[in-house]
A and B are shown apart, each in its own frame.
Chain A
Amino acid sequence: MTLIEVEKHEVEEPKSEPVRVRGLPFFPHFLLREVVVMCLIAGSLILLASYYPASLLKPADPFDTPTPIYPEWYFLYVFGFLKFWTWDIGPIPAKIIGVTMPMILWYGLLILVPFIDRNPSSDIRRRKLAVALGIIALIGVLYFTYYGIVHGE
């Protein structure tokens, strides 16, 4: 493997000494690797597509509701949460909470992550709270996804 050494100025600590970065030059070494990885991914997609072709069921019929029906897998957690949450809070009906929480609140929270987490360290051992919250969020999304699968309409 060919390695080059270049001087790179760290963005985070402007006052420190320039650090030396060991790395591959983009062309041709890095690009070659990228091309190999790209071929592997493209090949896997073609294999998947040939063994498990995309399905086409019966034509849409608005008067015949199939059971069970599920949304796409990446929306299952929204669907699952909606099924899970059955409690009204004061005047707010359960359904409104069930829809608002996983869509508006969750995405709002995600957008704000860099502004909520003001801890400058990116060392995982010094970000215990952020890591714990991240794991809880992951488990939550997985759990509601599972809930959505079990409680399909």
Chain B
Amino acid sequence: MSFLDKIYKWLDDRFKLRDLLPPIVKHPAPEDVISNPLYCLGGTAFLCFIILVITGIFLAMYYKPTPGEAYKSVQTIMTAVPMGSLVRSVHHWAANTMIAAVMLHMIRIYFMGAYKKPRELNWVVGIFLLLTVTTFGFSGYLLPWDQLSFWATKIGTGIAGSMPIIGGYISLILMGGNDIGAETLTRFFAIHVLILPMAIAVLLGMHFLMVRIQGISGRL
């Protein structure tokens, strides 16, 4: 008996792996799903998400969310922190790739009619995922506190703020005041690293659970 077998047996004695694993391990992946790359888009988005979590944690170790320090801390990440520039750039590219992959994934679902009965609710969860992902991008954009972040956020909060009825409240909630300043930066930071990650974890859990229960659609 090899060492791995021993570990397996030890765990099996305690957790009945024999009953738990086969449905996962032997679960068939249909052939047309494997051979058609369009089905990779959801997985690509998920991989990007994992990369974003990891690189994001490292960025958070150096980043300081105040107007006085934010720009300097990003500058330090880019110039002084070992591999800092790579980590930040991978975070940047993974974010853009994720948004593109989510959009293409949604286009595939639409044109293949994969949102039809029984998958209506998974489409609805998907739209909330799309909103969450773009809000991630929006909130992250401000954090480096450079000219681009500041003015792009100015446009964004301006647009959100001119929505009828709710616009005023939304811009107040987002900016924490009448203009973009220290309050806005800490808020965007909290949204970006606390609120949205929790929201997306719940949504992704629902999304994958539904895919698992209902299977991938298609004329198999």
Residues of B within 8 A of A122 (CB): 112-114, 116, 217, 219
> Does chain A have a CB within 8 A of B7?
no
Q: Which of B9-17, B120-128, B197-205 contacts A (4 or more CB under 8 A)?
A: B120-128
> Does chain B have a CB within 8 A of A146?
no
Residues of A within 8 A of B177 (CB): none
Residues of A within 8 A of B159 (CB): 71, 75, 78-79, 82, 99, 103
- Interface residue count on the A side (C-beta < 8 Å): 76
- How many chain B residues sit at the interface, stated as a range, is 35 or more
Set B43, B149, B150, B164: member contacting A62, Cβ < 8 A: B150
Residues of B within 8 A of A130 (CB): 110, 113
Main SS class of interface, B:
helix
In the docked arrangement, what's the CA distance between A45 and B47, Å?
A: 11
Interface residues of A (CB under 8 A from B): 3-4, 6, 8, 10-12, 19, 21-27, 30, 33-34, 37-38, 41-42, 45-46, 48-50, 52-62, 64-66, 69-75, 78-79, 82, 95-96, 99-100, 103-104, 107, 110-111, 113-115, 117, 119-124, 127, 130-131, 134, 138, 153
In the docked arrangement, what's the CA distance between A140 and B66, Å?
A: 39
> Does chain A have a CB within 8 A of B27?
yes
Interface residues of B (CB under 8 A from A): 24-31, 33-34, 40, 43-44, 47-48, 51, 67, 71, 74-75, 78, 85-86, 88-94, 96-97, 99, 103, 107, 110-120, 123-124, 127, 130-131, 134, 137-138, 141, 144-152, 154-156, 159-160, 162-164, 167, 179-180, 214-215, 217, 219-220
In the complex, the answer to whether A61 meets B28 with C-beta atoms within 8 Å is no
Query: Assuming A27-B24, A62-B180, what are 14 further A-B pairs, CB within 8 angstroms?
Result: A26-B26, A41-B47, A45-B48, A45-B94, A53-B78, A54-B91, A62-B179, A70-B155, A99-B167, A100-B164, A113-B115, A114-B115, A117-B113, A119-B116
